Structure 1
């Protein structure tokens, strides 16, 4: 019998197991689609949503490269401004990364109206701290 035509039960078993794992894990890793604006900012009639403008500073999030803290402004329950109060800026590399990342994080937060925003590539730690502080500020504003 030709060597390439041999039965290979072990290879088939391994491939079958890998396919079973992929079919099981892949659907579990997908995120359900929710409207982030409904999840983060309370509806207009709730006790936490006041009329007028309100500014709240979130908790400081400690990251590997330094603290990150944001301040949000809500106008009639709608997120109108996000400002990074504290962010890593110890060296020129931190300043370069944050000059690129912070405007993108701000724009995403304003568009999403929540802390459910994407991580900026190259600024993972700052993005994580930004999200944590932003969620803290939104939670405080909802009270």
Structure 2
């Protein structure tokens, strides 16, 4: 019994709170009562007539301090206000990110050696080397192919020695001296062209 009474009382209190919160005066009613709207001061006795009471509102008897409950009215927004479907123009957005440097590729010349041709291409972002690709490497024999693969694995790619050191000053790959030297010469020419 006690729980039922508490539940009914709680329901009545929450319903009353919702009605009070939702039934607050909107800006039209505040303006009709002569109160400040949107932070604009109202000067007393500024020649304005006292506001008229809304239709159906009762006058409070003298000595009654309670104000009459305002009635809800539906007012249209002023014409200068954008409708819900349109947006007011906004200031142009500025990006806080710095401009991305442009990427470009530069190809070195073909450098010949006793085992074949070597040609290197570099990709730069701004002035930084970000990738290296061997376009041509000696593949005449199984041995030259294996040595070329060792040189390519060590020097080329985004994580190769060229990207790490940002230069053509590289250690020679053991057993692949001619291919290493040709690779460095083509690489240095590409770096010089990019300069």
| Aligned equivalents of 2:153, 2:128: Cα separation in 1 | 19
Which residue does 2:121 correspond to in 1? 71
| Aligned equivalents of 1:64, 1:105: Cα separation in 2 | 20
Give SS of 2:169's match. coil
Give SS of 1:82's match. strand
| Aligned equivalents of 1:70, 1:76: Cα separation in 2 | 19
Give SS of 1:127's match. helix
| Aligned equivalents of 1:66, 1:98: Cα separation in 2 | 10
Which residue does 2:153 correspond to in 1? 103
Higher RCO (C-alpha 8 Å, min separation 6) = 1
| Aligned equivalents of 1:135, 1:64: Cα separation in 2 | 20
Which portions of structure 1, spanning 4 or more consecutive aligned residues, are displaced by more than 3 angstroms? Answer: none
Which residue does 1:122 correspond to in 2? 175
Structure 2: unaligned runs, 5 residues or longer: 1-100
Structure 1: unaligned runs, 5 residues or longer: 1-50
Question: Given the two structures, how large is their TM-score scaled by the length of structure 2?
Answer: 0.46
Please give the per-residue CA displacement for 1:24-47, whole angstroms capped at 9, x wherever unaligned.
Answer: xxxxxxxxxxxxxxxxxxxxxxxx
**Structure with more helix by fraction:** 1
**2:166 corresponds to 1:113:** yes
Give the alignment's Cα RMSD to 1 decimal: 0.9
Question: Is 1:108–1:118's contact at 8 Å kept on the other side of the alignment?
Answer: no
Q: CA deviation at 1:76?
A: 1.2
**Structure with more strand by fraction:** 1
Map of 1:1-40 to 2, 5 A cutoff? Answer: none
Which residue does 1:81 correspond to in 2? 131
